[in-house]
Chains A and B, each alone.
Chain A
């Protein structure tokens, strides 16, 4: 006998299964859509006149001298462990090489699958500066004899290159992650250059008075 409060009461077993399948399909569609949107938002690196992927931005900071901007830029680069200054042209331009690691994750497991190398250029002028990241190249990692992930090749493959059908999906992901990294990088750099560092308020010292209790 069927209970009167059972929401499936009176339904045929086939109908119940059909509703369940519908729900699963709907959930799968939503999941697919959300993944698709996430990928689409990340893929926004521009291409320059030479067909190379690039992130380029001019930032105006009215009233700030070029010397001060250069000092801030130098200080910012000095703090970045993964950026190495390659050359500086006079007081206004700077070139650095950087890299970041891409991780592959599956539920709780994760390991590095490779690193992306890039070049960072910046120039300062009175009241403004510009910077661009380009020459993105991917170096795959492979596990070495000690269980550590290390570069599998010495030469990076430009991210603009077509990897062929066999590795197309993976390559697309590398580009997506590069775009995300670059956006984060740009946001942090702009915040630092604008001197918008969050003010750190020192926590009040806790005093323990043990004489009176």
Chain B
């Protein structure tokens, strides 16, 4: 026991350190990642709210372990990010056969790309990359709320392709690229999507991303086009406001979605913050069918200590068109409302 205690003391004292980065042409291999776990309880005792990740009812469940490697040598760099666990496998990335299936092996890959910075302003990257569309991301360490929005779940997760970025000034940059179909390692109808992102930083603390992605996926009924605005403004030291709005249309009256989400957040201290997500989301009807709308309110706390963040969360969803299949406690009767509580622990390293 004593030896164990001493060894952990050695680890804490001797091997963990911070140091300021000295200038050099190459950087050391960066290893980072996160681990997350959660408990969720739906007040109707069902997994009513079906948006991503915090799904399992009355259970202490796994998120994922996420491991990212990055190395830069001169102007070239690579990123390889692997994930293991429900959140990082079948729920967010396809397996080798291109389907989301827990029973067959996955490639485990969230990011796998190589980039080359021709100058300080011009960069080209190619490979399998996290999507540039939307406010929320797969990694729980980069989201304020633990459960995710309807906008997140409906948009792309990854975009494999090649993209070029140019920084015009500190306020303006532009990315444009050619991409595969959404979320696939291989595009079976050829590289079929074009995408672009205009980044604007008009004020200190305010950044806005105007995103565009369009193309016809293999086997799709029409060409899908998404316009997305993602922006966040740190108005004061304590108060931050985020916004995500998107409109997705599949040509020839084949549906799509539109939605808007607001993310006001207030930091009481450096370690404690409270944030709301208020979302309105509309599924566009295809071929003459009716639209269906959902409203969702999620109140989350963030309590931080070093790399650890506790996220207690309460969520209320309203489904006036019964598109989500919410059920009452008896498990049989449909209802418009669903509510859940969750407590998540996320450790980022």
Question: Which chain A residues have a beta carbon within 8 Å of chain B's beta carbons?
Answer: 21, 24-25, 28, 31-32, 35, 81, 100-113, 116, 142-149, 153-155, 157, 161, 163-164, 166-167, 169-170, 173-174, 176-178, 180-181
Contact = CB atoms under 8 A, between A and B. Distances in A.
B20 A101 contact: yes
Given A21-B2, A167-B270, A144 B32 contact: no
B17 interface: yes
A111 to B, nearest CB: 4
Interface stretch (B6-14, B45-53, B100-108, B337-345): B6-14
Contacts of B19: 102-103, 105, 177, 180
16 contacts: A28-B9, A100-B20, A101-B21, A102-B21, A103-B18, A109-B32, A111-B32, A142-B348, A146-B111, A146-B129, A147-B81, A157-B237, A157-B270, A163-B270, A170-B18, A177-B18
Which 7 pairs from chain A and chain B are nearest by CB?
A154-B205, A145-B130, A109-B31, A147-B79, A166-B305, A154-B234, A101-B21
B304 interface: yes
A111 B18 contact: no
Contacts of A153: 234
A157 B306 CA distance: 16
Interface in B183-215: 204-207
A126 B260 CA distance: 63
Contacts of A101: 20-21
B18 A142 contact: no
A147 B70 contact: yes
B169 interface: no
A35 B14 contact: yes
A146 B130 contact: yes
B288 interface: no
B18 A102 contact: yes
A112 B21 contact: yes
Contacts, number: 136
A106 to B, nearest CB: 5
Interface string B2-37: 110010011001111111110100001111101000
B174 to A, nearest CB: 16
Given A105-B19, A110-B31, A167 B306 contact: yes
Nearest to B72: A148
B20 A103 contact: yes
Interface in B311-329: none
Interface stretch (B134-142, B217-225, B242-250): B134-142
Q: Which of B17, B34, B234, B305 has the most CB of A within 10 A?
A: B17
A166 B270 CA distance: 9
Contacts of B234: 153-155
A176 B23 CA distance: 19
Given A110-B29, A147-B81, A164 B6 contact: no
A106 B14 contact: no
A116 B130 CA distance: 28
Interface string B223-246: 000000000001001000000000
Contacts of A104: 16-18
Interface in B74-122: 79-81, 110-111, 113
Interface string B327-339: 0000000000000
B131 interface: yes
B269 interface: yes
B25 to A, nearest CB: 13
Given A110-B29, A164-B271, A148 B21 contact: no
Contacts of A81: 23
Nearest to B233: A154
A178 B138 CA distance: 33
B29 to A, nearest CB: 7
Contact of A31 (B2, B14, B16, B110): B14
B68 interface: yes
A21 B5 CA distance: 12
Q: Which of B9, B18, B34, B234 has the most CB of A within 10 A?
A: B18
Nearest to B28: A110
A149 B132 CA distance: 16
Contacts of B80: 147
B32 A143 contact: yes
A107 B15 contact: yes
A114 to B, nearest CB: 9
B17 A32 contact: no
Given A102-B18, A111-B31, A145-B131, A28 B6 contact: yes
Contacts of B304: 166-167
Q: Which of A110, A157, A170 has the most CB of B within 10 A?
A: A110
A25 B271 CA distance: 35
Nearest to A21: B2
A102 B42 CA distance: 42
